[in-house]
A and B are shown apart, each in its own frame.
Chain A
Amino acid sequence: MEEYLILMRLDLITKEAQPSPEQMQEYMKIYNDWVGSIAAQNRYIGGKGLSTEGKVIRSKDMITDGPYAEIKESLAGFIMIKARDLDDAVNIAKGCPILEGDNSVEVRKVVAVHGEG
């Protein structure tokens, strides 16, 4: 098994695109079911959600507020999983519930810095 990072990008900026607290609760349930399903297959390694607060540093004196976004989506969270190969990882990532909306998911293989990789 190889390790893959699944990066989730959402529109965190446009006011109209933000869910209500009730919607948020519903989304979280669906999201947790998806992660629970990965964990039940013993393929979950770890993951975190990210706050909308942040800074972007381009050079020492060019710092801007907010998460980095060239497009309207910005990084909202990530999980690490175990998968046989990239296709397998993509298949798992396709189940990510944020894809029900106009969002995107990126899958990247983790390359070991030390040891075999």
Chain B
Amino acid sequence: MNPGELIPHLFRTEYRKIVSVLGRRFGFEHLEMAEDITSETFLTATQSWGLEGIPENPTAWLYRVAKNKAKNFLQRQKLFETRIAEELRISDAIVEREIDLSPQNIIDSQLHMMFAICHPSLSQEAQIGLALRILCGFGIDEIANAFLTSKETINKRLLRAKQKLRDERIETDVIITQIEQRLEAVLRTIYLLFNEGYYSINQNSTLRRDLCLEAMRLCTMLVEYDLTNKGQANALLALMCFHFSRFDARVSKRGEIILYEDQDPSLWNTDLISKGGYFLKQAAGGKEVSKYHLEAAIAFWNTQKSDSKEKWERILQLYNHLLQLEYSPVAALNRTYALSKASGKRHALIEAEKLDLKGNQFYHALLGELYTGIDNTKALTNLEKAICLAKTPADKQALQKKVDKIRADT
């Protein structure tokens, strides 16, 4: 590998580790300095490796350079602080302690930063943005891409979030009670990160895959750590494994979305399905049944290709339970679909008509599907509404196919 290939690869895996260790050590007051030093380290590598060739152990080289740069910064900081407040005698200890880039401290630092970032005073958007920047090492343009927004918006969002962390004097080191209190927020952030990758209308499938993998990586760290190895975390990881097992089967070579019924199950990743099964079993230990447990169980049934009444009955009951915990339009629509599979379209139509979701693309698509063969005029009206509302060409195409089929059959 030449430096041009190696450095982006190392940036992907090492940036987040270095920035977490430095960020935790410097505190949120100097988080930007931690980011700058980490970026500079890679810049130095680009220059030096281009001239002198790749060192024997590139990762160790990066750590050494980052350590030196960090040490210089801490020394300057100490000089600055002692000059303005000599009598305070602060920060001696801060400089003395080595910058520790050992595997254990890298993991510890990433966990601390994860819980520090998911502080209740930050908005959900800010938490996700910071998680992508600090915990996943995403660039500003990648984050902007993931959220289909501009670099300026993301920059502003991150700056505001960092300002808040400073203003509120939030610590980068978290204590056990904070870990317990914030676990739910951390899981929610990971869950949203995954959904952004899995369900987003973004056409960039490499980026979407990365988002999913990052969410799974962060959640894996949680289940490998005693204090956070809780039922909910295992359930969330199971859920992501089951979903991600179909990632490749969902998209055709030309980039079109392939609907669940039409997917080739031989493309489903069976390793991930059994991994999901393992974590779902681990999740079952405690008394609590969280929404992640229910969604993971539903996702498990979706990995079973059979179309049996039993399967749909189980899925229906899980959605009944899930909706009682937390309402969402998607869950309401999926429940109605499961009902149609378990008890028939006519029964499901009565329930579908009770849902107040007019103007929702997927609601009209579902009504179109349920009315097909029962009242084709209503089916067509709804499918056409759904086409108007659809946001991507692939969605419009899939719906148009259904319209064409009804027209051909009548």
Contacts and interface: CB of A to CB of B under 8 A. Distances in A.
Contacts of A37: 351, 354
Interface stretch (A5-13, A39-47, A53-61): A39-47
Interface stretch (A15-23, A28-36, A68-76, A105-113): A28-36
Nearest to B326: A39
A2 to B, nearest CB: 16
B355 A40 contact: yes
A35 B320 CA distance: 7
B332 interface: yes
B382 interface: no
A33 B317 CA distance: 7
A32 B320 contact: yes
Given A39-B324, A40-B355, A29 B335 contact: no
The 5 closest A-B CB pairs, nearest first, are: A36-B320, A39-B323, A40-B332, A42-B327, A32-B320
Contact of B332 (A29, A35, A41, A47): A41
Interface residues of A, number: 12
B86 interface: no
A44 B332 CA distance: 12
Contacts of B331: 40
Main secondary structure of the interface of A (DSSP, over half): helix
Contact of A36 (B313, B323, B355, B356): B323
A35 B324 contact: yes
Contacts of B324: 35-36, 39, 44, 47
B298 to A, nearest CB: 13
A70 B319 CA distance: 37
Nearest to A44: B324
Contacts of A41: 332, 354-356
Contacts of B321: 32, 36
Interface string B311-334: 001001101110110010001100
B360 to A, nearest CB: 12
B320 A39 contact: yes
Given A37-B351, A40-B335, A40-B336, A29 B323 contact: no
Nearest to A42: B327
A41 B357 CA distance: 9
Contact of B317 (A29, A39, A40, A44): A29
Interface size classification for chain B: 10 to 19
B326 to A, nearest CB: 9
Main secondary structure of the interface of B (DSSP, over half): helix
A29 B313 CA distance: 9
A39 B327 contact: yes
Nearest to A45: B324
A31 to B, nearest CB: 10
A33 B336 contact: no
Contact of B316 (A36, A42, A44, A47): A36
Interface string A69-102: 0000000000000000000000000000000000
B56 to A, nearest CB: 61
Contacts of A29: 313, 317
Q: Which of B319, B324, B336 has the most CB of A within 10 A?
A: B324
A35 B354 CA distance: 14
Q: Which of B320, B321, B339 has the most CB of A within 10 A?
A: B320
B316 A33 contact: yes
Contacts of B317: 29, 32, 36
Given A32-B320, A32-B321, A36-B320, A44 B351 contact: no
A42 B354 CA distance: 11
Contacts of A40: 319, 323, 327, 331-332, 335-336, 351, 354-355
28 contacts: A29-B313, A32-B321, A33-B339, A35-B320, A35-B324, A36-B321, A36-B323, A36-B324, A36-B335, A37-B351, A39-B323, A39-B324, A39-B332, A40-B319, A40-B323, A40-B327, A40-B331, A40-B332, A40-B335, A40-B351, A40-B354, A41-B355, A41-B356, A42-B327, A42-B332, A42-B356, A44-B323, A47-B324
A36 B319 contact: yes
A95 B111 CA distance: 49
Nearest to B319: A36
B332 to A, nearest CB: 4
A42 B316 CA distance: 16
A11 B185 CA distance: 44
Interface in B26-64: none
Nearest to A37: B351
A40 B319 CA distance: 9
A39 B317 CA distance: 12
